[in-house]
Structure 1
Amino acid sequence: MASTMKEAEKPIRKVRTIKRAPKKNAIPPEILNDPDLASAISSLPNAYNFEIHKTVHRLRLSGSSHLALQMPEGLLMYGPVLSDIFSRFTPVLSVVIQGDVTYGACCVDDLGAQAMGCDFLVHYGHSCLVPLSKTVVPCLYVFVEIRVDSDHAAECLKRTIPRGSKVSVMGTVQFRDAIFSCMSNLTLAGHPCVVPQAKPLSPGEVLGCTAPRGLYDEGLGEGEQCMLFIADGRFHLEAAMIANPRLKAYRYDPYGKVLTEEGYEFGRMVELRDKAIGDAEDAEVFGVILGTLGRQGNPAILNKVLGVLRDRGKKTFVVLLSEIFPAKLDMMPQADAWVQIACPRLSIDWGHYFTKPILSPYELYRMVGEVEKKEGVYEMDFYEKGENNYWSNFGGDNAKRGG
């Protein structure tokens, strides 16, 4: 009885209800369900995801008054429409469309936006390469993902390669969803699939200067493995082929809906670059170019390059250039050779058009003997994280971009 009384005397615990505050980044219903905004968005192509609702929400939260929009030339036609939408549905007082050439995410021009008095930048068409903590104005990256017929891409490849062939699926960031859809489709059809990653890029994402490597499986024959690359051009695909020269490459053009087998003269490229490295060995005066197109140039790499050259008794001078052309460098005949800290593909693709050798940072380290040449390997890691790739933007402490 006493025990029963004690049980009865125990206080009843109250149930406490915890109400969580709405997530700051959650887009509110009044934006998602705004019929006028939906009508304005309908003037943009349905297949392109410009993430308008998200951008409107971010601009309202930020309190920004002067907005800059930056995009590659293929999207510039939509710039005026985007400008009208943000002028109408956000508190911004002015919108500037940046018209300078934009080759990739390395060209994000937060410095230019700041110089024009803008306090927010939306960069379209590329992933976030330059950390948001390093931009001088708040920046929003919009991939502009594009809906494509991924089933058709997978079906084309299935009819082309032997059943059971291993497939590495990659592409540009706009087709990220299609990459994973193709992987699922091909896996169900009996093809072992991988979506490789070169961190900090997204899985399957390839840049013109950075691509996953080591994809060739020595345990399989050349006819039993390949890469499927989803893109409308060859520039990014070539980076994947340079990084994996033994892997057969197929490119699916999502606009023309055509699958093609692609080739790259890897041996010829290496031969040309070896010659440039050899020709630069006897140079006494080096011109060192820091690219100023957006954030292409990294001051931390510049300082290391200057140190490497000066430690070996070389004379140096620094040139700032937004774009690098042979005629421009010919105006400075004092240089016996050049090192450019902008885009390694400039040296690889067009180096033989220049009067003097023009090396990438990786090639400079090859020249001075700090990096050994490896047969069948050419580094495509300019934006890949690593401890020993000190010529790259994320190698060692280069991500600090100190100057």
Structure 2
Amino acid sequence: MASDLSAPPVLSTPAEYTFIDDPTLSSTIAQTKQTKRSDDELYEVYEIARTAADIQQNGWRHIALQFPDAMLPDAPWIVNALRKELRSVAAHLQGDGEENEEKPAESQRLYILADTSYSACCVDEIAAEHANAEGVVHYGRACLSPTSRIPVIHIFTKQKLDYYTITESFEKEFQDKTDKVVVMADVMFQDHVLPICELLRERGYTTIIATEIVRDPTGPIPNRNIIFSATPSEDEIVHNLNEYHLFHISTPPTSLLMTLSSRLASLRIYSTPSSPYITDSTPLDPSATQSLLRRRYGLVIRLATASIIGILVNTLSVKNYMSTISTLKSQIAAAGKKSYTIVVGKLNAAKLANFAEIDGWVVVGCWESGLVEQEGLWKPVVTPFELGLALQGEESRVWTGEWWGGIEGVGTSWAEERSAESIAKQSQVEEDSAAAPDLYDIEGGVDDEESEPPEFDLRTGKLVSNSRPMRMAIRSVPRSGAETNDVLSSLNQTTASSAAIVRRAAGDVALVNGVASPGAEFLRSQRTWQGLGTEFGTEDDEDSTVVREGRSGVARGYTVGTDETRT
């Protein structure tokens, strides 16, 4: 049958699209269109002088330069300009006023990080360590999450704004000059906040509050500090933040949009041409945040009945990501569920689909990358804040409308409370087992799991019998007093020292090193491909098939055994 194809399909990005208009670019973050700028403009936009001065002051010899995709075309120019400026600064410090262009800059090396392991807003410490970098210069907008190992210089870049257009837009949004308004801007436009606030005060607005950048993702306004004014005071503004409106310059990322919408009275956005979070076809509307929050709550309900939860590590640079993982493990274990920690780099649906046994995911990332769009994903992916809601019981799960996307606000009080409840319940089981060791052999006897109220999926109304597999595992092992104590202690372990899978009898839970493993149970009972040499099966199964020598060589001429076959 003749094919309609006149040329082979495109399976990769064509060379002519490199660094320009990538047709494979994600729909959620649009690539900023490049405009031709002069050297003088680039020198000012990328703050070459300040960058060189800071590098020289810190004494760095190996420097990593991290760029978002939209700024990569300017990376070679920035490296050359930075080298010249570093020579000039070094010569000035040595008392030599003339710049020596012939002298190679061997004392300082610059490395371009052209691809980040996770989100572009986070500092890629892993890639920087591969280059033995002593510091990182991060260009473009940033989440400002504190790093754990390598110091960083943030260059947000200098962007121009038309003050007249902004003030006109502000007056259309707020016609009452007594309105309480907080003015905030993306980090790329932060330098314009104070001048704009002064213009608005000159036009008669009496309660205009300016903000400044501060590295505090857990603040009432993430990474922003309210500039102190006599009336009202800063404490009064923070305490009554829900009475203030927000005027945001440049479209914020979705996670920040949802956070701000849940804390302030209203949110108005002034879109800028170089906003990195908006496309021409899908602009973000602040009024859509309520529907977004309803969708997030729907994911919370889905995860409430999950039995196996994957802890998805989406950053290796945020300072407290390890302690957050430990907190999440404690929360999940206290709820009687099983957790697995997985690192996959940049997320996509194909990677997560490989883990079919995972019923839902919780992301360990910064406050921006912690929000993962659900499009194309098979299982729900939530933030640590949403996981805390999902693990609470139906009688205590109350959502006030507040939302948070990152790991910085993750506390341990709820985990400690649930852990205390779990320990107390396990102690009671031990006492009952010691007092009546034959309890589980009594016909019609009731154990701890059966005495708890049934759990239903609120979306489908069906009874869920396996939402707490780590508590159910207590019934699936021999019930002598010593063995019960061993099982109870093993249920608190979150990892096993060996991957050996123990064969189990019908009706029991698969164990790995004596610890109940829902993942191993899923492998035995539901996965169609179990790998070569698996120990699962019945006693009548034949031995594993002997491995035979197959084809070898390349596609133009395979070799099968001693015979050569041409294809």
- Following superposition, the deviation at residue 311 of structure 1 comes to 2.3
Q: How many angstroms apart in 1 are the aligned matches of 2:334 and 2:407?
A: 24
SS in structure 1 of the partner of residue 341 of structure 2: strand
Query: 2:55 — aligned with what?
Result: 59
Query: 1:135 — aligned with what?
Result: 149
Alignment of 1:189 with 2:214, yes or no, is no
Query: Residues 236 and 85 from structure 1, CA distance in 2 versus in 1: closer, same or farther, beyond 3 angstroms?
Result: farther
Query: 2:261 — aligned with what?
Result: 242
| 8 Å CA contact retained: 2:314, 2:343 | yes
| 8 Å CA contact retained: 2:312, 2:341 | yes
Query: 1:251 — aligned with what?
Result: 270
Q: How many angstroms apart in 1 are the aligned matches of 2:82 and 2:220?
A: 32
More displaced 10-residue stretch of structure 1: 356-365 or 369-378 = 369-378
- Following superposition, the deviation at residue 65 of structure 1 comes to 3.0
SS in structure 1 of the partner of residue 313 of structure 2: strand
More displaced 10-residue stretch of structure 1: 347-356 or 163-172 = 347-356
Counterpart AA for 2:154: Y
Query: 1:163 — aligned with what?
Result: 176
Q: How many angstroms apart in 2 are the aligned matches of 1:204 and 1:281?
A: 28
Q: How many angstroms apart in 1 are the aligned matches of 2:213 and 2:84?
A: 40
| 8 Å CA contact retained: 1:68, 1:96 | yes
Query: 1:367 — aligned with what?
Result: 390
Query: Residues 171 and 103 from structure 1, CA distance in 2 versus in 1: closer, same or farther, beyond 3 angstroms?
Result: farther
Query: 1:324 — aligned with what?
Result: 347
Higher relative contact order (CA 8 A, sep 6+): 1
Alignment of 1:311 with 2:307, yes or no, is no
- Following superposition, the deviation at residue 380 of structure 1 comes to 5.3
Counterpart AA for 1:274: Y
SS in structure 1 of the partner of residue 39 of structure 2: coil
| 8 Å CA contact retained: 1:214, 1:243 | no
Counterpart AA for 1:247: S
| 8 Å CA contact retained: 2:366, 2:405 | no
Counterpart AA for 1:331: N
Q: How many angstroms apart in 2 are the aligned matches of 1:234 and 1:289?
A: 21
Q: How many angstroms apart in 2 are the aligned matches of 1:308 and 1:113?
A: 33
Structure 1 residues 54-133: aligned runs within 5 Å? 54-90=50-86, 91=105, 92-101=107-116, 103-105=119-121, 107-126=122-141, 129-131=144-146
- Following superposition, the deviation at residue 161 of structure 1 comes to 2.9
- Following superposition, the deviation at residue 189 of structure 1 comes to 1.7
What CA deviation, in whole Å up to 9, does each residue of 1:312-369 have, x standing for no partner?
2212211012222222111111112211112566675623642222221101111222
Alignment of 1:354 with 2:368, yes or no, is no
Bigger CA radius of gyration: 2
Q: How many angstroms apart in 1 are the aligned matches of 2:141 and 2:288?
A: 28
Counterpart AA for 2:290: G
Q: Any gaps of 5 or more consecutive residues in structure 1?
A: 1-40, 218-224, 392-403
Query: Residues 351 and 118 from structure 1, CA distance in 2 versus in 1: closer, same or farther, beyond 3 angstroms?
Result: same
Q: Percent identity?
A: 19
Alignment of 1:145 with 2:171, yes or no, is no
Q: How many angstroms apart in 2 are the aligned matches of 1:205 and 1:254?
A: 24
SS in structure 2 of the partner of residue 216 of structure 1: helix
What CA deviation, in whole Å up to 9, does each residue of 1:279-304 have, x standing for no partner?
22222211111113654981111110
Alignment of 1:178 with 2:197, yes or no, is no
| 8 Å CA contact retained: 1:243, 1:380 | no
Q: How many angstroms apart in 1 are the aligned matches of 2:44 and 2:181?
A: 27
TM-score, structure 1 length as denominator? 0.70
What CA deviation, in whole Å up to 9, does each residue of 1:247-302 have, x standing for no partner?
1423242559xxx9943323322322222222222222111111136549811111
Q: How many angstroms apart in 1 are the aligned matches of 2:272 and 2:43?
A: 15
Query: 1:221 — aligned with what?
Result: none
What CA deviation, in whole Å up to 9, does each residue of 1:230-256 have, x standing for no partner?
115664762455334741423242559
Query: Residues 389 and 197 from structure 1, CA distance in 2 versus in 1: closer, same or farther, beyond 3 angstroms?
Result: farther
| 8 Å CA contact retained: 1:109, 1:295 | no
| 8 Å CA contact retained: 2:253, 2:368 | no
| 8 Å CA contact retained: 2:371, 2:405 | no
Q: CA RMSD for the aligned pairs?
A: 3.7
Counterpart AA for 1:125: G
Q: How many angstroms apart in 2 are the aligned matches of 1:172 and 1:236?
A: 13
More displaced 10-residue stretch of structure 1: 237-246 or 278-287 = 237-246
Q: Any gaps of 5 or more consecutive residues in structure 2?
A: 1-36, 87-104, 224-237, 276-282, 416-567
Alignment of 1:263 with 2:263, yes or no, is no
- Following superposition, the deviation at residue 83 of structure 1 comes to 0.7
More displaced 10-residue stretch of structure 1: 346-355 or 262-271 = 346-355
Q: How many angstroms apart in 2 are the aligned matches of 1:348 and 1:213?
A: 27
Alignment of 1:287 with 2:310, yes or no, is yes
| 8 Å CA contact retained: 2:385, 2:403 | no
Q: How many angstroms apart in 2 are the aligned matches of 1:186 and 1:254?
A: 22
Counterpart AA for 2:67: M
Counterpart AA for 2:247: L
Q: How many angstroms apart in 1 are the aligned matches of 2:78 and 2:382?
A: 40
2:324 to 301, 304, 308: 301
Query: Residues 130 and 234 from structure 1, CA distance in 2 versus in 1: closer, same or farther, beyond 3 angstroms?
Result: closer
- Following superposition, the deviation at residue 116 of structure 1 comes to 1.9
1:231 to 250, 254, 258: 250
SS in structure 2 of the partner of residue 158 of structure 1: helix
- Following superposition, the deviation at residue 387 of structure 1 comes to 7.3
SS in structure 1 of the partner of residue 298 of structure 2: helix
Q: How many angstroms apart in 2 are the aligned matches of 1:206 and 1:156?
A: 24
Counterpart AA for 1:228: F
What CA deviation, in whole Å up to 9, does each residue of 1:163-217 have, x standing for no partner?
313322112111112122222222222222123579634999867xxxx996431
Query: 1:10 — aligned with what?
Result: none
- Following superposition, the deviation at residue 120 of structure 1 comes to 2.8
More displaced 10-residue stretch of structure 1: 138-147 or 228-237 = 228-237
Counterpart AA for 1:151: Y
Query: Residues 199 and 373 from structure 1, CA distance in 2 versus in 1: closer, same or farther, beyond 3 angstroms?
Result: farther
